[in-house]
Each structure stands twice: as structure tokens, then as C-alpha cells.
Structure 1
């Protein structure tokens, strides 16, 4: 790799990292806001909140990476064009297809990243989310016990919490336990917290009193306590987690077990997910090729690149939208999956053919003249003096 290739390769990957981080961060924030109730209504910690939302980031990367690469390629090409470097390279005998080589190397890095994420990291993150969500959902203190409501956990056991404060602190706890046939226990505590260890889950109550009513006795036994542990283990057992299609690793989709119940129940969706994983690393090559086809050829400084930028975005949007549509149809019609590969190969091949042929994609002359006339009229209106 020569010095020019290294320069373009490094610039493209740095731009890709910046764009990727920015887009992922923005989308992650919008997604994370939906799970803010984990800390508010369910009393989970900030670690749980960040963990659950952060594990979904690899899934976002699979969709964002090709778009971020296209923006990075367009930014690099625009920078080269602004400094007239593309014109100099072209005059020195560097063909467009040769200039595309460092962008191709950068695309290979992005494609390898997408393969690793799609094959292992993204499904592993979804599995961790499923297990974590199972534990949170199974935690009755976080889901069933809502402030101000009487919750009957089972026949004869009722619990009420007046308020839930940050950090999982439960204020104003009332427990009525009538499960035993010969006695009834009522507990009132100022506050309590949940403690989990290898022995089980316990609601540790502090500053309260316990009243025990036994059959045959007229007066209840009253006990004041500073600390009392109420066993809640039977209500905090996580359910068995059944992984869906998106939680399967790539090799599990390629070579599934013969007795896989999910494959037997949803064979078409199973194969559709497999094709989506295999297609994911191909999309970066198309996005890089379409950006270069519109923006990578030598132009004079008087030729506007706005149309080329808009055209590249439009073509990429149409092809990606068609890919999404074919993916949805493939969930019901298996043979449509082959059209996804055909679409990408034809679109990418067309872009490479245009690059190799040094075809400059420009709007028709009439469109250019109309746009120039419109811009000139807007400029005259702006410069027109305002009457006093």
C-alpha cells in the first residue's frame, strides 16, 4: 500500500469512526429513553439501565455501519476534491478504479467488523438482554409491587409499599401473611431494601413492628424490631429463557440442529434471518461503490457536487429500502431471498462499471440551467434593497 493509499485509507477509517460513534450515540440515546422506567418505576440501578441499553448497541451498528461508511467515503472524496487532489491524481495517470483501491481496503475492514458483530457479538448481546430481562421480570419486588397498591402475591399473602425511592429503597412497607392455617402475621416497617445472596432473595425491613395472631389466643403477640428479613425467594425465581431467531449465532443459523423446535416451527423466518446476516457485510461494498461512483471522478471546481451527493443518497436509499422490502417478503416466500443477493450484486457491479468506465454522473443540461436560474433569482431577491 503506497503513501496515497495509506493517506486515503486512514482518513476514511477515521471519518468512519467519528460518524459511526456520533450516529450510534444519537440513536442509542433515543432508544435508551424508552427504558428509563427501569430506574424510576422498577427501582433498578444505573448499572442495570446502562447494561441493558448498551447491549443493544451492536444491533444498531449492523444497520448504521454501511451508512456511516458512505458518509465517510463522501467526506473523504469531498475533501480530496476541494483541495484539487483528485484532479492532480487523475492528471498523474491514476485511474478512478485505482483510486478506489484504498476505499475498497477500508470497506473490507468495515465488512469484517460487521461480520464479527453479526455472527457473534450482536446475538450474544441479545442473549444477555434476554437473561437479564428474565431476572428483572421475575423480580416481584420490581414489577408486581407498585407504590400505593395492595399486591396479592399468592393466596393469603398481601404486600403494600407506600413509596419507592432511588436506589431500591421501599418506604412504608405493609405485609399481611395469612398463609399458615393457625396464625396470621402483620408487619409494618418504616422502610426496607431487597437483598439477594446465595441463600435467596430477602426483603430486609427496618424500624417496624410485627403482630402475630394465633388461633385460640385472644391477644396478639407484638414484637418491635430494628431489622427483620422476610423471605421472598420463591417469588424471585427467573424463568427459563428461550432464545429467538435473532439471538442465534450465525453458525447456529447455517447449521441448525435437526431437532431444533424453532426451526421446525418457523423454517422460513429462520432462513430469512440467516440471509440477512450473510447480506450485512455486502452492503458496505455497495454503499462505498455508490458514493465513489457519484463523487469520486475528477471534476472542475465549477462543476457542482450537490447533485452528485443527492444522487448518491437517493440511489443508496432506494436500494436499501428495496433490500428491507425483500427481507420482509422473504419471511413468507423463501425464494425471494435470492433476489436480495441479485439486487446487491447488480447495484454494486453497476457502480464499479461506471467507475471503471470513468463515467461522470451529471444532471441533464436543462435541469442544471433551471437550477442555476433559480439560484440566481434567489440571489437577486436577497441583494434587492428594502424600500425605506
Structure 2
């Protein structure tokens, strides 16, 4: 690697780190705000909130890194052009393709980062996040132990606790169960305890009364009890074996998808192939983004008025590549046999970058030819 390659690569990596940090922070904070409202309103602690936001971070980074690579490439190229460093390098005989070498190294480095995230870290974080969500869904205390508030944890259920004693006893309980059509049962008790069992959590009420109203006959039956056990496991849903989502599955399993394996995971063959091939193709969009940003600005020559038109064009081209990616995703989602289309946006993006570099080299040769003609 030449000195210029090392110099430009160091500039790209430094600016990439800065822009990635800024974009990840903005994206993450925006995601964390909604997550904070959801978890805190469910009675979760700040530690659970931090754990959840940390588990969402790998996917946020995966989405942001290609954008940061594009911004860094455009910024560094624009600065080198405005300071005439690219002019000097091209005057020494460097072609646009030679100048693009450090951008290729940079793009491949970012591609490797995104690939590690897509194949390893994101599936692992999604699996852990789904497990933690399941644990919290089964945590009855976080959903029911709220003082002085009428809760509706499920359709037809109303639950109220006046106070929770320091010993963990629930005082003055009100529970209405109207899930059975034509019948409404209201339980009241002086105190209650939450007890775990093999079949799920149970609410054990003491010194209370159960009033059952049959709406069809308008008859009311009252039963007083010294203690009564109410099954909360049926209310929150029994803990069943959870099938992993497509995003959690290993890449080899996704690429070897068949109708039988898709049925076993409760999904479709097209969805599995789509996820698997996207994990391979999408990281290369970081390389495409960096090259398009560099090549587009290189076609603009060296104007003292800046390269704003070329910057705008590079954004348009990147949007076009993303449009192709979205179209390919929709196509493969409808038909599993169309999975090669996932690689079309990467091929198109690299083709656009190559054409732009060739145009930049041609414009340079034409310019030098005119200068030589005038001089003669």
C-alpha cells in the first residue's frame, strides 16, 4: 500500500468512526425513548431498560455503518479535492481507478464489520432479546403488582390492589374475570400472595368472596372462602417452547432452507432464503456506498465553487441502489426461486461506480488533450 493509500485510508477510517458514532447515537436514542416508555410503564427497572437497549445496539450499528461509510467517503473526497490533493495525485499519473484503491480497502473493511454483525452478533442479540422478552412476559410481579391502579392485563380481566405490604402481601384485592361469555365472576379478598408452581403462577387469596353473575338468567351466586387459589398461568399464557424467528437462525440453516425446514420453524422457504442471502449481500452495500460517493465526486473535476451537484448526484444514486435492494427483497419474498435478485443491487452499484470512474478518467484525458493542443 502506497503512502497516499495509507494517508487516505486513515482519513476515511477516522471520519467513518466519527460519523458512525454520531449516527448510531441518534438512531439509538430515538429507539431508546420508545423502549423506555414501554418498559417503564410495565414496571421494569432501569437495569432492564439498559439491557434491552444494549441488545438492540448490534442491529442499529448494522443499519448505520453503510450510511456512515458513504458520508465519510463523500466528506474526505470533497476535502481532498478542495485542498487540491487529488489534483496533485492525478498530475503525477494516478488514474481514477488507482485513486479508488484506498476507498476499496476502506469499503471492504466496513463490509467485514457489517458481515460479522449480520452473521453473528445480530442473530445472537435477537435471540437473547426474545428470551428476555419471554421472561418478562412471564414475570407476573411486573404486570400485576401495581398499587392503586386498575389494570387490564388481558381482555375481560380487571385487577386492582390497594396496597402492597413490606412483606410482599397484597392487601384489598379486586379481580373481575369476564372472559367466559354469559358469566362474570368478581373476586374480592382482604389479602393475597403470589405463589409459583409447576403449572404457572397462582394468586392465593385469603378471607374473600367470589360473586358469579349469569347474565342470561340475571342470577347472582355468592361464595365466601377462607382461602382460594386463582390460576394466573392461564391468564398470561403457559410457557411454551418458543420457535426461533428467521432473524435468529444461523446463516447455514437459512441457506439450506426447504419446505420441510421452513414448516418446522413456522415460516416460509422464501423468508428463510431471503434472510440468508441478504446477510451475504447487504454487507457489500457498504463498499458500494463508499465507491459511489468517491467516484461521483471525482467526475466533477476541481471547481472552486465546490462539488455540491456531484454530492447531490451521489445521494440520488445511493437512493437508486437502495430502491433496487427494496425491490429485490419484495421479489424474493414472493418467490423463493428469485433469490439471485438479492445480489443485483450490489452488482448494479459496483457497475455504477466503475462507469463513474471510467468517465472521470476520460474527462481527465480530454482535459489534458485540450491543454496540450492550446499549448502547441
Q: Could you tell me which of 261, 267, 270 is aligned with 1:268? A: 270
Query: Residues 233 and 286 of structure 1: is their aligned pair in 2 closer, same or farther, counting only changes over 3 Å?
Result: same
TM-superposition CA deviations, 1:64-89 (whole Å, max 9, x none):
22111000101111111121101011
* Structure 1 runs (4+) greater than 6 angstroms displaced: 150-153, 168-172, 200-203, 231-237
Partner in structure 2 of residue 18 of structure 1: 18
Partner in structure 1 of residue 87 of structure 2: 87
| Partner Cα separation in structure 2 for residue 321 and residue 152 of structure 1 | 42
| Partner Cα separation in structure 1 for residue 70 and residue 163 of structure 2 | 50
- Give the TM-score of the pair, scaled to structure 2: 0.74
- Give the TM-score of the pair, scaled to structure 1: 0.72
Deviation at 1:151, TM superposition (A): 6.9
Deviation at 1:97, TM superposition (A): 0.9
Deviation at 1:355, TM superposition (A): 1.0
Deviation at 1:53, TM superposition (A): 2.3
Q: CA RMSD in A?
A: 4.1
Q: Number of aligned pairs?
A: 331
Partner in structure 2 of residue 139 of structure 1: 139
| Partner Cα separation in structure 2 for residue 163 and residue 185 of structure 1 | 14
Deviation at 1:305, TM superposition (A): 0.4
Partner in structure 2 of residue 72 of structure 1: 72
Within a 5 Å distance, the mapping from 1:1-388 to structure 2 comes to 1-144=1-144, 147-149=148-150, 160-162=160-162, 173-175=171-173, 186-188=189-191, 211=207, 238-256=239-257, 260=261, 261-262=263-264, 265-297=267-299, 299-302=301-304, 304-359=306-361
TM-superposition CA deviations, 1:324-355 (whole Å, max 9, x none):
12202210123443233234213312312331
Deviates more, 1:131-140 or 1:240-249: 240-249
TM-superposition CA deviations, 1:236-291 (whole Å, max 9, x none):
87543221111112122123588533467511111111121111122112111211
Which 5+ residue runs of structure 2 have no aligned equivalent? 176-186, 210-224, 364-376
Q: Is the 8 A contact 2:284 2:346 kept in 1?
A: yes
Deviation at 1:160, TM superposition (A): 2.5
| Partner Cα separation in structure 1 for residue 287 and residue 153 of structure 2 | 57
Query: Residues 264 and 78 of structure 1: is their aligned pair in 2 closer, same or farther, counting only changes over 3 Å?
Result: same
Q: Is the 8 A contact 1:161 1:170 kept in 2?
A: no
Higher helix proportion: 2
Deviation at 1:359, TM superposition (A): 4.7
| Partner Cα separation in structure 1 for residue 83 and residue 163 of structure 2 | 64
TM-superposition CA deviations, 1:291-327 (whole Å, max 9, x none):
1111135723335301000000001011102211220
Q: Is the 8 A contact 2:119 2:250 kept in 1?
A: yes
| Partner Cα separation in structure 2 for residue 84 and residue 296 of structure 1 | 12
| Partner Cα separation in structure 2 for residue 169 and residue 360 of structure 1 | 82
Name the SS of the counterpart of 2:304 in structure 1. coil
Query: Residues 7 and 163 of structure 1: is their aligned pair in 2 closer, same or farther, counting only changes over 3 Å?
Result: farther
Deviation at 1:176, TM superposition (A): 7.1
Name the SS of the counterpart of 1:331 in structure 2. helix
| Partner Cα separation in structure 2 for residue 135 and residue 289 of structure 1 | 45
| Partner Cα separation in structure 2 for residue 187 and residue 27 of structure 1 | 48
Q: Is the 8 A contact 2:140 2:201 kept in 1?
A: no
Deviation at 1:98, TM superposition (A): 1.0
Which 5+ residue runs of structure 1 have no aligned equivalent? 178-183, 204-209, 214-219, 222-230, 362-388
Deviates more, 1:331-340 or 1:270-279: 331-340
Deviation at 1:27, TM superposition (A): 1.3
Q: Is the 8 A contact 2:324 2:344 kept in 1?
A: no
Name the SS of the counterpart of 1:93 in structure 2. coil
